[in-house]
Amino acid sequence: MEKIIMITGATAGFGRATAIKFAENGYKVIITGRRKERLDDLEKELSAKGAKVLSLNFDVRKRYEVEDIIGSLPDEWKNIDILVNNAGLAVGMDHIDKGNIDDWERMIDTNVKGLLYVTRAVAPLMVSRNSGHIFNISSIAGKEVYENGNVYCASKHAVHALSRAMRIDMLKDNIKVTNIAPGFAETEFSLVRFKGDKERAKNVYKGMDPLKAEDVADVIFYCANLPAHVCINELEITPAIQATVGYTNRKI
């Protein structure tokens, strides 16, 4: 039987690349995000390749919407085998005394609370079948911190802690949990962080060959397709020129 994967934040970056990778490999894919047009376009693109796609248009921060939409999945889409908690963002980059509190709330509400709402809705479906695999997209910013990264790093440290906690809680339910911790990857991430400032966003990746969204999709696919007795609990992936969050060998 075809496996079902649900990916939050499939309208761009890692989520979109992951949806394409799994759809091309015969999975049924549930794609989610706030930008409906992009979901529609992706649904068309994948369906044209013969994939079965369900597109769900919601904001992970809206607790009751998340519960309602996931709670009323059609029967043929309920048996979710893989959940990728990917939707997330950084907004702003300032010292802690100057940060914008609205930006902080957006990051915490999306990266931490949104991930929890989705997990709380999907995990019982997996527990009832005694089977499943949850991927949480954290970051190397979930293992280390950097100047001006304060709240984003804290939100990703929370994701890292939740991955470890979920692994323990769901051990007896035969549900694998994998924490993915990418470093620099050129997606729309920096454009969002710098609120549409293209020049500043481009500069983040100056002098390097950053990760591509497809690199992250490939490792998720690899982890998801290991033998049943193997679980990768954590996977850190950076561009070759990046050793830690702050040590890079840029060619500038």
Q: Is 29 in the site for ligand 8X3 (CB under 6 A)?
A: no
**Within positions 45 to 104, which residues make up the interface with ligand NDP, using CB under 6 A?**
59-61, 86-89
**Dist. CA 178–CA 231, nearest whole Å:** 7
Structure tokens at 166: 């979920």
Question: Residue 25 Cβ, how far from ligand NDP at the closest point, in Å?
Answer: 20
The stretch among 7-15, 69-77, 168-176, 239-247 that binds ligand NDP (CB under 6 A) is 7-15
**Catalytic, out of 27, 64, 146, 152:** 152
101's enclosing H/E stretch is: helix 101-107
Whether 27 is a known active-site residue: answer no
The stretch among 91-99, 183-191, 225-233, 243-251 that binds ligand NDP (CB under 6 A) is 183-191
* Nearest C-alpha neighbor of 102 from the set 34, 57, 151: 151
Which of residues 55 and 139 has its CB atom nearest to ligand 8X3 in the complex?
139
Fill in the per-residue mask, 186 to 225: x = in contact with ligand 8X3 (CB under 6 A), - = not in contact: ----------------------------------------
As a whole number of angstroms, the longest Cα–Cα distance in the chain is 54
Buried/exposed 69-83: b ≥16 CB within 10 Å, e otherwise = bbeebeeeeebbbbb
Q: Which of 22, 104, 184, 221 binds ligand NDP (CB under 6 A)?
A: 184
**Within positions 219 to 248, which residues make up the interface with ligand 8X3, using CB under 6 A?**
245
* 245 interacts with, out of ligand 8X3, ligand NDP, none, CB within 5 to 8 A per kind: ligand 8X3
Place of tokens 């799994």: 22
Grouping H, G, I as helix, E, B as strand and the rest as coil, residue 236 is strand
**Within positions 193 to 232, which residues make up the interface with ligand NDP, using CB under 6 A?**
213
- For the sheet containing 28-33, what is the strand order? 53-57, 28-33, 4-7, 82-85, 132-137, 175-182, 234-237
Other beta carbons within 10 angstroms of residue 4's beta carbon come to: 22
**Residue ranges that bind ligand NDP, judged by CB under 6 A:** 8-15, 33-35, 38, 59-61, 86-89, 110, 114, 137, 139, 182, 184-185, 187-189, 192, 213
